[in-house]
Amino acid sequence: MSIATLSIILLVLLFAFLGSGLWVAFSLLGVGIAAMALFSDAPLGLVMATTLWGHSNSWALAALPLFIWMGEILFRSRLSEDMFTGLSPWMNRLPGQLLHVNVFACGIFAAVSGSSAATAATIGKLSIPELSRRGYPEKMIIGTLAGSATLGLLIPPSIILIVYGVATEQSIARLFVAGVLPGLLLVGLFVGYVAIWALINRANLPTEDIQASFAEKLRRSRRLVPVILLIVGVIGSIYAGIASPTDAAAVGVVLALLLSWREGTLTRASFFDGLMGATVTSCMIAFILAGASFLTVAMGFTGIPRVLAEWIRSLGLSTFTLLAALTVFFVIMGCFLDGISVVVLTASVIMPMVMQAGIDPLWFGIFLVIVVEMSQITPPVGFNLFVLQSLTGRDILRVAHAALPFFFLMIVALVIIVAFPGIVTYLPNQM
């Protein structure tokens, strides 16, 4: 049987599993078992046991549940309220005024939650009623939230960067540091777009004049200081080489607990709710990673990745053409699967192509995350769209239309990092 026929059979089987509602992890295991049983003479049981244990017994993977728990703790604190109160006085001089609070608040919360959906839900619960009450256009409220919430996937500590690092055996610390400048680039693009839109559409914005002295601004922002210190401490310790991502995650959990206790939001109920939420999410991701690791090994036995890599090389595609094709592919995949599933499903097949084309896998990780961010606001399975639909009660297509400009801004960010790859690689190379 040819490799092409084998690839088609396994692809059809995978989509049949996923389409039937079978869990992603079981779907990956099922395809791996079929590939090993039908197209390889390797001992199936032994390979599965050693692969699942070997990829689960990973110190780097220990950072995953810790960062998720840190986000769960802060999700249940008054962080979103503190951010809105602390940021709003500084935005009154910018065109667009309080619309910028959505962008900066999402950026800050993304840096402590690592989750796109949690960022959209937490910031949206507070800002949507407040900005609507003040008369800001609903389309811009929804759009800034949908776009900016995706920063939770890129700004470290990012859950999906941990998943990519484990799946492709890249340094998680270097991936975290690599995500800093692209994250700031996206924040700058979003702020610039909101400012330009506000200058063009002055009549559609409320005419409010928020007056506050410098001392008053500092007083209202003081509750942001502990969170900023938490972010700087976690990321700074990794960048300085003082702590590994796992060590920094453990410290982050302790500091988040202290911060929540100081605010009076740490109760027995909130502690166990956060712990159980982190446990459920971590188990789901770890299970998917285990299934993906077995599928990766199974693909190696079938020889599909090697043949595909050779086929890509024979086409003579330029690096830019390959990246453009992969962008379209990942966006389409993101229309049907969540970001983590997209990464683990494709890693075993895509990475040989990427390596064959001479693309830096560290750089490609950031590129991939930005594309996955785009899929978060792409119907029909854009998770951020569902979150905002539940918060606003609006039709999913209306929410998607509001998010469309930010989708194109992410394409601009992709073009920039392709043209200037140093934006991604400069900080990691200084470590």
pLDDT tens-digit readout, 344-400: 777 767 787 788 778 888 999 999 888 888 877 876 556 677 777 777 777 778 888
Residue 409's pLDDT is: 92
Confidence label for 30 from pLDDT (cuts 50, 70 and 90)? confident
> With contact defined as beta carbons under 8 Å apart, do 292 and 24 qualify?
no
How far apart are alpha carbons 257 and 73 in whole angstroms? 7
Q: Poorest-confidence range of 37-41, 116-120, 230-234?
A: 116-120
Q: Which two tokens stand for residue 332?
A: 């389409």
* Measured distance CA(72)–CA(65) in Å, rounded: 10
pLDDT for the residue numbered 310:
67
The answer, yes or no, to whether residue 341 has pLDDT greater than 80, is: no
pLDDT digits (tens, 9 = 90+) for 37-95: 877 777 878 888 887 787 677 666 777 788 778 877 877 777 666 766 777 777 777 78
The pTM score is: 0.74
Question: Given this model, what pLDDT does residue 67 score?
Answer: 77
Q: What is the dihedral of CA 255, 258, 262, 266, to 10 degrees?
A: 120
Q: How far is CA 316 from CA 135, 195, 321, 329, in A?
A: 54, 43, 10, 19
Are the C-beta atoms of 63 and 249 separated by less than 8 Å? Answer: yes
Q: Across residues 220-247, what is the average pLDDT?
A: 76
Q: Enumerate residues 6+ apart whose C-beta is below 8 A from 57.
A: none
Q: What's residue 213's pLDDT?
A: 66
**How far is it, in rounded angstroms, from Cα 154 to Cα 147?**
12
The token pair that represents 326 in the structure block: 């992969």
Give percent of the chain with pLDDT exceeding 90.
Answer: 7
Q: What is the crossing angle of helices 44-56 and 268-302, to 10°? A: 140
- Give me the helix-helix angle, 339-356 and 159-168, nearest 10°: 40
CA distances in angstroms from 282 to 62, 285, 340, 414, listed in the order given:
10, 5, 12, 29
Query: Contact, 288 vs 341, CB < 8 A?
Result: yes
What are 250-301's pLDDT values in tens digits? 888 888 888 888 878 888 888 888 888 888 877 877 777 777 778 777 777 7
Q: For the chain, give the percent of residues with pLDDT over 70.
A: 86
pLDDT score recorded for residue 337: 65
The Cα–Cα gap between 348 and 46 comes to 20
pLDDT tens, position by position, 310-334: 666 677 677 888 888 888 888 877 7
Average pLDDT over the chain, rounded to an integer: 79
| The predicted structure's pLDDT at residue 198 | 87
d(CA 129, CA 127): 6
Residue labelled with tokens 């202290």 = 258
The reported pLDDT for the residue numbered 411 is: 92
Name the one residue in this structure whose structure tokens are 């785009």. Answer: 374
